[in-house]
């Protein structure tokens, strides 16, 4: 294999690694947003419950 071919091979694996990291980050962000949304929903439910108790 030529030096150029070897360099291309190396950069491809770096690119693959970056893509997999980007994919993992996207999955993590999506999970975090869903978690935050469900937490906000739960907080709203609890607020409503508390306001009912005060009445």
Domains of the chain by residue range: 24-55
% of the chain exceeding 90 in pLDDT: 36
Q: Is the pLDDT of residue 8 over 80?
A: no
Q: What are phi and psi of 35, to 5 degrees?
A: -65, -45
- In 3D space, the residue among 17, 19, 39, 16 whose CA is nearest the CA of residue 27 turns out to be 19
pLDDT score at 22: 92
Mean pLDDT of 38-50: 86
Mean pLDDT of the region 31-43: 92
């Amino acid at each position: 294999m030529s030096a150029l071919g070897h360099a291309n091979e190396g950069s491809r694996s770096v690119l693959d690694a970056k893509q997999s990291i980007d994919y993992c980050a996207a999955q993590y962000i999506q999970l975090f947003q869903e978690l935050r949304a469900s937490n906000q929903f739960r907080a709203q439910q609890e607020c409503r419950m508390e306001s009912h108790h005060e009445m």
